């Protein structure tokens, strides 16, 4: 069967497209899945290009969607022919966070989903939303669940809230769509007017080009009626956090998701304290969070925004497109 592997010390030119042994049939509590799609995330990129070292010849990609081909004797949740999607933390099923590293994450601590067939514990998957194509379902594992947890689980979003999303990557677009489905108002930022217009088309209420307005927090305050937003989906990290704090209302919630501007930096703690805000760090979510998201998508009709689709053998090219940050929503691989 076909697979992509990361050859240490990493680098997109060192991704190898290979034939490897078939995983065989599932054990009692396992399922065999024919993987048809995966989607690209920042975490996958830094694994593939070597910035985050992993085991030599690791199969990358945290997200996987496909069809169940066989089920173990003790599996009752899935049947042959079911469309399924993988989970980010296979051992975190529900409840409070139980994982503080990437040792169990597919494509990092264990082999991922840039491969045609896998045999995994049944609890490592959930059903895909009804009617979703595999490329759509593959966007849920990381980006979709992250946005769901940030808005619904941690921030308890409600109708009438105002949400600030930074940029137009996968998590931000998912957050925008989910916020609108809850009846919230959305303020979106980007460096591209063209991307902002696309954000308007999917429901963004106010658009800010942060190249034109470097102190974009002032525009956020104005757009939110002078008091600041209820929720910030913060994907930038230290380079944007100070303005996110200024953009958020007194008692508001900041979901710290990304580190696109760096892994460490100063935090204006006094400003946060005075404004009595909650800063919640998070990495994706549990299997139960993913099941909640799937139910929500089934009921709301929200569909992921897929910007481009590549074949498996062109995964390195897909990563290069991602690294240029020219995409809107998700980049996927289908095979």
Give 265's pLDDT tier (boundaries 50, 70, 90): confident
DSSP string, 247-268: HEEEEEEEEE---TT-S-----
| CATH number of the domain enclosing 108 | 3.90.180.10
Asked if pLDDT for residue 149 goes beyond 90, the answer is yes
**Residue-level pLDDT at 264:** 84
Pair 241, 312 in one domain: no
Q: What is the mean pLDDT of residues 247-263?
A: 91
**Residue-level pLDDT at 210:** 97
In a domain, 291, yes or no: no
Asked if pLDDT for residue 258 goes beyond 90, the answer is no
| Helical H segments across the chain, by residue range | 42-48, 134-137, 145-148, 170-181, 193-201, 216-223, 238-247, 269-275, 287-300, 315-323
Pair 154, 133 in one domain: no
In a domain, 290, yes or no: no
Number of domains into which the chain is organized: 2
**Residue-level pLDDT at 179:** 98
Q: Which of 231, 242, 257, 235 has the alpha carbon at shortest distance from 325?
A: 235
Q: State the Cα–Cα distance between residues 117 and 33, nearest whole angstrom.
A: 6
Pair 120, 89 in one domain: yes
| CATH number of the domain enclosing 208 | 3.40.50.720
**Mean pLDDT, all residues of the chain:** 97
In a domain, 249, yes or no: yes
Q: Which of 310, 258, 254, 308 has the alpha carbon at shortest distance from 278?
A: 254
Range of the domain at 36: 2-139+304-334
Pair 35, 104 in one domain: yes
In a domain, 86, yes or no: yes
DSSP-derived secondary structure letter, 75: -
More confident residue, 310 or 10: 310
- pLDDT tens, position by position, 312-331: 999 999 999 999 999 999 99
In a domain, 286, yes or no: no
Asked if pLDDT for residue 155 goes beyond 90, the answer is yes
Percent with pLDDT over 90 in the chain: 95
Give 174's Cβ-side CA count (13 Å radius). Answer: 28
In a domain, 292, yes or no: no
Whether residue 98 contacts residue 289, with contact meaning beta carbons closer than 8 Å, is answered with no
Q: What is the mean pLDDT of residues 98-102?
A: 93
**Residue-level pLDDT at 261:** 79
**Residue-level pLDDT at 34:** 99
Pair 160, 213 in one domain: yes
Asked if pLDDT for residue 43 goes beyond 90, the answer is yes
Give 109's Cβ-side CA count (13 Å radius). Answer: 11
Pair 37, 60 in one domain: yes
Q: How many CB atoms lie within 10 A of CB 7?
A: 15
Interhelix angle 170-181/287-300, nearest 10 degrees: 60
Pair 182, 246 in one domain: yes
DSSP-derived secondary structure letter, 7: P
In a domain, 259, yes or no: yes
Q: What is the mean pLDDT of residues 19-34?
A: 98
Give 271's Cβ-side CA count (13 Å radius). Answer: 12
In a domain, 262, yes or no: yes
Q: State the Cα–Cα distance between residues 190 and 327, nearest whole angstrom.
A: 12
Pair 261, 171 in one domain: yes
Which residues on adjacent β-strands are paired with residue 127? 84
Pair 20, 35 in one domain: yes
Give 260's Cβ-side CA count (13 Å radius). Answer: 21
Pair 102, 151 in one domain: no
Pair 243, 312 in one domain: no
Asked if pLDDT for residue 305 goes beyond 90, the answer is yes
Beta strands in 21-141 (DSSP E): 30-39, 65-71, 83-86, 117-121, 125-127
Pair 111, 210 in one domain: no
Question: What pTM, to 2 d.p., does this model score?
Answer: 0.97
**Which of 99-103, 118-122, 170-174, 266-270 is the least confident region?**
266-270
Pairing of strands 185-190, 248-256: unpaired
């Amino acid at each position: 069967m076909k697979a992509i592997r990361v050859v240490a010390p990493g680098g997109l030119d060192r991704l190898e497209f290979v034939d490897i042994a078939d995983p065989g049939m599932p054990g009692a509590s396992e399922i065999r899945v024919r993987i048809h799609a995966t989607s690209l995330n920042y975490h996958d990129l830094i694994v593939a290009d070597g910035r985050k070292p992993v085991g030599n010849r690791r199969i990358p990609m945290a997200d996987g969607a496909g069809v169940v081909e066989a089920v173990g004797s003790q599996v009752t949740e899935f049947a042959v022919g079911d469309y399924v999607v993988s989970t980010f933390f296979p051992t975190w099923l529900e409840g409070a966070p139980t994982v503080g590293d990437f040792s169990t994450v597919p494509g990092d601590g264990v082999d991922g989903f840039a491969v045609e067939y896998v045999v995994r514990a049944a609890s490592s998957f959930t059903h895909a939303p009804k009617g979703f194509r595999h490329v759509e379902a593959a966007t849920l594992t990381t980006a979709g669940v992250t946005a769901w947890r940030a808005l619904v689980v941690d921030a308890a979003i409600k109708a009438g809230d105002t949400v600030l999303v930074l940029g137009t990557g996968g998590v931000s677009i998912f957050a925008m769509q989910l916020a609108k489905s809850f009846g919230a108002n959305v303020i979106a930022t980007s460096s591209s007017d063209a991307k902002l217009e696309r954000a308007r088309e999917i429901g963004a209420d106010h658009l800010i080009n942060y190249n034109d307005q470097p102190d974009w927090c002032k525009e956020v305050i104005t757009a939110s009626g002078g008091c600041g937003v209820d929720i910030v989906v913060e994907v930038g990290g230290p380079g944007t956090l100070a303005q996110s704090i200024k953009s958020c209302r007194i008692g508001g919630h900041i979901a710290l998701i990304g580190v696109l501007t760096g892994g460490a930096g100063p935090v204006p703690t006094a400003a946060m304290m005075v404004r009595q805000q909650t800063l919640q760090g998070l990495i994706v979510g549990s299997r139960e969070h993913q099941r909640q998201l799937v139910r929500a998508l089934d009921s709301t009709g929200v569909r992921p925004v897929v910007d481009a689709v590549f074949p498996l053998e062109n995964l390195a090219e897909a990563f290069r497109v991602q690294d240029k940050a020219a995409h809107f929503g998700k980049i996927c691989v289908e095979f």
